[in-house]
Structure 1
Amino acid sequence: MISRIFFASLFLGMYSTGSSLSCKWIVKDPGDKMCQFSLHNKQALGLLDMMVSITNTTKVAEIEHNVAFPNRLYRKTSKATDKLAFIVQILEKLFALFEEDHSSASWEENTVENFLNIVNKQAEELRSCIGSHSYTTQKVQRRTEIHFKRLLNKILKKNGYSAEAWETIRNITKDHLSQCGFLVNSLGNAH
């Protein structure tokens, strides 16, 4: 009886890990240079480049020192499904952050909407790859939550949602999307 449970658990674990790796969204088709996630990520980064605001660069530099980038969180996830779940959480948090009042940033609303649509699409597609059975550890989830609360409170709210605060958020978002791209590429290179 115990051996049946063991083998069933082993099979389920292997299947769930393998299913995320076979996800069409993160695996390159033969002849393609990038997977779908990477293509969309490149588009999102391009839109962020278009959203540059003319700001006081000294003030932006001061603001950026308030919240450190969570490099450790990106290194904490080891299993493929954990990485995908972590990326989904990051994308959802970025989406929520950009829904805040960004009227002081001189961004074209259409560009922001396109950016949000791409980020949402990435999160939805990755979520469908992992299903509901995968999640990051509570510690990683909690630290990610804390990081994004700090971005909201110590950068946006503290600085009155200024153009400089949004420029800081835009730069941090580029770093997050780049790191998410590296994680996805590490999954694609594993197979």
Structure 2
Amino acid sequence: MLTGVFCALLLLCLYSSGSSLSCRWIDHKFRDYSENSLDLLEMMADHDSTEDAGENTVAFPHHLYSQASAASAEDKVAFTVQVLREVCALFEEDDSSSSWEEKTLENFLNVVNRQADQLHSCIGSHKKRNRRLHMFFKRLSHNVLGQMGHSARAWELIRQEVRAHLLAADQLVASVLTSN
């Protein structure tokens, strides 16, 4: 009898420690990494660029973030991981015309990749990728970078768009923290 109770308690402890709600990295490190990535992204800004965004932008997918915010904590984290991975993939395109220093981009990608890896470790199982989010980033790449020839202006638009995504993803993770 006592062994059965002990085993049940042990399983309960193991299960709860593996859930995203008790992920120590989210509780203690995510905010620091998030602020660092936003600071690096700001350092990459092209302050000489004053052109209007014009018709080459893609509408921000507010509906996808709304759906994610209504999901479970684990699904919010999985969505955030995908956002971070999509951001990294976007910045791995030809950025030779961008205005930022290569070392700053490298540091930014390292921080974002570390965020994605650590958040992914908080997810109990492999989550299915959100196809609509993936398609949004593909359209962003095609409609902004592709059509504008990977120009410095295109990269500045991408940088601004990515900032909005990082802020929205940060809000998702913050909602996981407040629900603990």
Runs of 4+ that moved beyond 2 A: 15-18, 54-58, 131-136
What's the Cα RMSD here? 2.0
2:105 to 91, 100, 112: 112
Q: TM-score, normalised by structure 1?
A: 0.81
Check 1:69–1:108 CA distance in 2 against 1; reply closer, same or farther (3 A cut).
same
**Among residues 79, 87, 91, which one is paired with 2:80 in the alignment?**
87
Answer yes or no: is 1:152 the counterpart of 2:141: yes
Deviation at 1:54, TM superposition (A): 4.4
Distance 1:125 1:113 in 2: 18
Residue 51 of structure 1 corresponds to 44
Alpha-carbon spacing, 1:135–1:20, altered in 2? closer, same or farther (3 Å): farther
Read off the aligned partner of 1:174 and give its amino acid letter: R
Structure 1: gaps of 5 or more residues:
1-10, 28-34
> What displacement does 1:17 show?
9.7
Quick one: distance in 2 between partners of 1:16 and 1:154?
43
Q: Is the 8 A contact 1:87 1:180 kept in 2?
A: yes
State the match for 1:22 in structure 2.
Answer: 22
Q: Distance in 2 between matches of 1:144 and 1:123?
A: 16
Are residues 94 and 134 of structure 1, via their aligned partners in 2, closer, same or farther at CA, if it must alter by over 3 Å? same
Judge conservation of contact 1:63–1:155 (CA < 8 Å) in 2. no
Q: Which residue of 2 aligns with 1:75?
A: 66
Deviation string for 1:23-59 (max 9, x for gaps)? 01112xxxxxxx311110100000011001245422x
Q: Give distance in 1, aligned partners of 2:167 and 2:84.
A: 12
Are the counterparts in 2 of residues 86 and 135 from structure 1 also a CA contact under 8 Å?
no
Amino acid in the other structure paired with 1:22: S
Percent identity, aligned pairs only, is: 49
Question: Structure 2 counterpart of 1:169, which letter?
Answer: I
Alignment of 1:98-109 (within 5 A): 98-109=91-102
* 1:177 Cα deviation after fit: 0.6
Work out the CA distance in 1 between the residues paired with 2:111 and 2:60.
Answer: 22
Match in the other structure for 1:164:
153
Determine helix, strand or coil for the equivalent of 1:129.
coil
Structure 1 residues 179, 17: CA separation in 2 closer, same or farther (over 3 Å shift)?
farther
The residue type equivalent to 2:146 in the other structure is K
1:179 to 156, 168, 175: 168
Shift of 1:16: 7.0
Gaps of 5+ in 2: 1-10
Contact 1:101 1:161 (C-alpha < 8 Å) held by counterparts: yes
